[in-house]
Amino acid sequence: MKYIYITCIALFLFSCGNNEEAEHAHDAEGNHVGSEVPAISKTIWTNQTELFVEFPALVEGRTSKFAAHFTVLDKHQPVRKGSVTVSLIKGETGIRHKVDAPSSPGIFSPALQPKTPGTYDLVFDLKTPEYSDRIVIEDVQVYASAEEASKNVAEAEEGGISFLKEQAWKIDFQTEPVTQGEVYDVVHTSGIWQAAPGTYKTLAAGANGMVNFVSENLTEGTEVKRGQLLMNLSSEGLSSNNVQAEIAQAKARYDQVKAEYERKKELYEDKIVPKAEFEKVESDFRVAEANYRALASNYGAGGKQIRAPFAGFIKSISTSNGNYVEQGAQLVTVGTDKSRILKTQLSASHNPGKESIANVWYKSENGEWKEVEGSDSSIISVGKEVEDRKPMIPVFIKVNDVVEMPEGSFTEVQIALGEAENGIVVPEAALLEDYGNYSVIVQTGGESYERRPVKIGKRNGKHAQVLSGLEAGEVVVTTGFYQVKMASMSGTTPAHGHDH
């Protein structure tokens, strides 16, 4: 009897140990964690931000933790400071969770526990010291059970190139969207930089004298400020054409006729002297005043002063320190880079005219293509004839950007002619060329990429027309694509630096 009793107890304990509820572990909130929930990943771009988020499929009563990667698109750098609020909204109700700082640079880890199955909007509100952004993922499903989520959430397809956000954030990396844009027939040519009229001024000697440089470092290219004293013209010790003596004489003459003018003015007002006599005295006074002020202007202790008329740089110096110069001699030319003239040329076969030139691009000193602002209104002139030895037609273009390249230097130029066509365009920087064939690296997801061949049409400045291979709205890599290409050749997927 005792044996039977012990056996029953053992059977009872065995049956309890195999209870279905006892097979499941629980997390801190009491949720079952024994069943696997499929993962979901989404990548959304705004004008300022890229959000790549990974999270378990949302299940009623179960906490889902998000790995939300935020990238500032301007420099493709992680968001290092700020807060993120994630909200699950249906109609006017919902739940939300805010985290006040990233768990690691660029990665925020909020969590939500949905209460009711259904279709919701998943909203991420990002606030940083520099800007704020709102990203909405529509039609996000909350499932009644993990089993239902497993049946309805498709597994992510393997393949493509894996390149983690942590890798992209550590290098010089940039992406840009594929857009619809205007494309033209573009002529590739070259141009020469020239100084624009009004951007330089030659200063001449206002009197005879010896040239004294104020600065020992006054050389071509020296930057100067408006009104800065550059040199003095001293006539001290000269027996003739002595400015100091001429100023003294002019001052004496001015004082004399001024006194006569004031005396005659009182007599004229009292009708003692005739009008003609007063007008002659007044005329002599005005002449003496103008002569004195002209001689005394810009005259200081060192002599006649030569000052910079505007902020810029010394373009050329036509004299030497200690030289004797006569009045009117050229001394120094001051220039500025605020605008330039770009002289280029076109073949007469293009039948160029001011109206037919739609856009102009030039290559800057750092090798980047820059569009001439208001290109259609910046064409100064187009030549009207060609010669036997000069079969090209000159084109003069005003460039208002600050151009660091020296005058007389060459630069590459692209000129857009005719009417524009609408088409899909991609940044020139995104193109990979291989023996005349082109391809781009397309970002298919937050950490997934693929290399795709494209057919290129017209090219203008920073962009190229894509005839096939891409659609507007897709995102391509413009800087750092060689690192992505190398990642595709490594054959291994690097480990994540965070929990997904």
pLDDT value of residue 246: 67
149 exposure class (CB count in 10 Å sphere: 0-12, 13-18, 19+): buried
52 exposure class (CB count in 10 Å sphere: 0-12, 13-18, 19+): buried
pLDDT value of residue 1: 42
Say if residue 15's pLDDT is above 50. Answer: no
What residue type is assigned to position 429 of the chain?
A
Residue that wins the pLDDT comparison between 406 and 298: 406
Max mean pLDDT range (114-123, 278-287, 337-346): 114-123
In terms of pTM, does the model score above 0.85?
no
| DSSP annotation of 96 | E
Q: Which helix (H) or strand (E) segment is 397 a member of? A: strand 392-399
- CA pair distance 53, 44, nearest whole angstrom: 9
Q: At 489, is the secondary structure helix, strand, or coil?
A: helix
Say if residue 8's pLDDT is above 60. Answer: no
What residue type is assigned to position 457 of the chain?
G
- List own/partner pairs for 292-298 with CB under 8 A and 24 or more apart: 292/247, 292/250, 292/251, 292/253, 292/254, 295/207, 295/243, 295/246, 295/247, 295/250, 296/247, 296/250, 296/251, 298/206
Angle at 425 between CA 423 and CA 427, to 5 degrees: 170
Mean pLDDT check: name the lowest of 25-29, 84-88, 336-340, 390-394: 25-29
pLDDT value of residue 298: 61
Residue that wins the pLDDT comparison between 48 and 408: 48
pLDDT value of residue 287: 85
- 54-92 in b/e form (b: 16+ CB < 10 A) is bbbbbbbbbbbebbbbbbbbeebebbeebbbbbbbeeee
Say if residue 498's pLDDT is above 70. Answer: no
CB 441 within 8 A of CB 203: no
Q: Among 64, 40, 51, 39, which Cα is nearest to 165's?
A: 51
Residue that wins the pLDDT comparison between 499 and 260: 260
Quickly list DSSP for 308-333.
-SSSEEEEEE-S-TT-EE-TT-EEEE
| Separation of first and last alpha carbons in the chain | 58
Q: At 377, is the secondary structure helix, strand, or coil?
A: helix
CB 405 within 8 A of CB 411: yes
Say if residue 143's pLDDT is above 90. Answer: yes
Segment 97-139, tens digit of pLDDT: 999 999 999 999 999 999 999 999 999 999 999 999 999 999 9
Say if residue 326's pLDDT is above 50. Answer: yes
Tokens of 436: 């005349």
Q: At 226, is the secondary structure helix, strand, or coil?
A: coil
| Non-local CB neighbours of 456 within 8 Å, separated by 6+ positions | 431, 438, 464, 465, 466, 467
Say if residue 249's pLDDT is above 60. Answer: yes
Confidence of residue 245 (pLDDT cuts 50, 70, 90): low
Q: Per-residue pLDDT averaged across 286-303, rounded?
A: 72
At 415, give phi and psi (nearest 5°). Answer: -120, 125
Say if residue 61's pLDDT is above 80. Answer: yes
Beta bridge partners of 454: 438
Percent of the chain with pLDDT over 90: 34
Q: Per-residue pLDDT averaged across 323-328, rounded?
A: 85
| Non-local CB neighbours of 152 within 8 Å, separated by 6+ positions | 141, 143
pLDDT value of residue 11: 37
Segment 185-196, tens digit of pLDDT: 888 889 998 887
pLDDT value of residue 244: 64
Q: Among 60, 77, 72, 35, which Cα is nearest to 112's?
A: 60
User: Is the backbone of residue 196 left (phi > 0), alpha (psi -120 to 50) or beta?
Assistant: beta
At 476, give phi and psi (nearest 5°). Answer: -120, 155
In order of 55, 180, 420, the CA distances from 461 in angstroms are: 42, 15, 14
119 exposure class (CB count in 10 Å sphere: 0-12, 13-18, 19+): exposed
Say if residue 10's pLDDT is above 60. Answer: no
Segment 163-206, tens digit of pLDDT: 999 999 999 999 999 999 888 888 888 999 888 777 788 888 87
pLDDT value of residue 450: 92
